[in-house]
Amino acid sequence: MLIPCPHCGTRPVEEFTFLGDASVARPASNDPASMEQWFEYVYLRSNPKGRFDEYVQHSGGCRSWLVISRDTDSHEVFGCVMAKDYNRKRKGAKP
Partner 1 sequence: MTSFRLAKGGLIDRNSALNFKFDGRSFTGHPGDTLASALIANGVHLMGRSFKYHRPRGVISAGASEPNALVELREGGAKEANTRATVIELYDGLAARSQNRWPSLDFDIGALNSLASSMFVAGFYYKTFMWPKSFWEKIYEPIIRKAAGLGTASREADPDKYEKSYAHCDMLVIGSGPTGLMAALAAARSGGRVILADEGSVLGGSLLFETEEIGGVAGYDWAQGVLAELGSMPNVTLLPRTTIFGWYDGNVFGAVERVNDHVLAPPPYEPRQRYWRIIAGHAVLAAGAEERPIVFGGNDIPGVMLASAMRVYANRYGAAAGQSVVVFTNNDSGYRTARNMLAHGVHVEAVVDSRPDAKAGAGSVQVLRGRMIAAVGGGKGVTGVELSGGTHIACGTVAMSGGWSPIVNLACQRGAKPKWDAAILGFVPPDVGPNFTAAGSAAGRMLLSECLADGATKGTLKGKAPAVPKCRDEAFAISPLWWVKESRGKAFVDYQNDSTAKDLPLAAREGYRDIELAKRYTTAGMATDQGKLGNVNAIAILAQATGRSMDQVGTTSFRPFYTPVAFGAFAGPFTGHHFQPVRKTPLHDWAEERGAVFVETGLWMRSSWFPKEGEGWLASASREVKATRGGVGICDVSTLGKIDIQGDDAGLFLDRLYCNTFSTLGLGKARYGLMLREDGIVFDDGTTSRLAEDHYVMTTTTANAAKVMAHVEFAHQVLWPELDVTYVSVTEQWAQMALAGPKSRATLRKIVDGLILSDETVPYLAAKEITILGGIPARLFRISFSGEHAYELAVPADYGNLVARALCQAGAEFGIVPYGVEALSIMRVEKGHVAGGELNGTVTAADLGLAKMMSAKKDYIGRMMAGREGLIDASRQCVVGIRPVDKADRIKSGAHILKIGDRPSMTNDQGYVSSVAWSPMLNMWIGLALVANGRARLGETVRVWDGLRGTDVAGEICDPVHFDRENRRLHA
Partner 2 sequence: MKYSVFSLLKNTLSGHKNWAPAWREPEPRREYDIVIVGGGGHGLATAYYLAKEHGLKNIAVLEKGWLGSGNIGRNTTIIRSNYLLPGNNPFYEFSMKLWENLEQDFNFNAMVSQRGVLNLCHSDAQRDAFARRGNGMRIDGVDAELLDAHDVKEMYPFFDYKNARFPIKGGLLQRRGGTVRHDAVAWGYARGADGRGVDIIQNCEVTGIRIENGKVLGVDTNRGHIACKKLGLAAAGNSSEVAAMAGLKLPIESHVLQAFVSEGLKPYIDGVVTFGAGHFYVSQSDKGGLVFGGDIDGYNSYARRGNLPMVEHVVEAGVAMIPSLSRVRVLRSWGGIMDMSMDGSPIIDKTHIDGLYLNAGWCYGGFKATPASGWCFAHTIARDEPHRLSAAFRLDRFRRGYMIDEKGQGATPNLH
Residue 61's SS3 state is coil
Looking only at the bridges linking them, the beta strands covering 17-21 and 9-12 are unpaired
24 touching partner 1, by CB under 8 A = no
The rounded distance, in Å, linking the Cα atoms of 7 and 56 is 14
Q: What is the CA radius of gyration of the chain?
A: 14
Whole-number Å distance between alpha carbons of 93 and 95: 7
Q: Which is nearer to partner 2, 48 or 88 (CB)?
A: 48
Least gap, CB of 63 to partner 2 (angstroms): 17
Binding window for partner 2 (CB under 8 A); candidates: 26-34, 40-48, 79-87: 40-48
Q: What are the residues binding partner 1 (CB under 8 A)?
A: 1-2, 12-13, 17, 19, 26-27, 30, 32, 34-35, 38-39, 41-43, 55, 57, 59, 63-65, 74-77, 82-84, 87-88
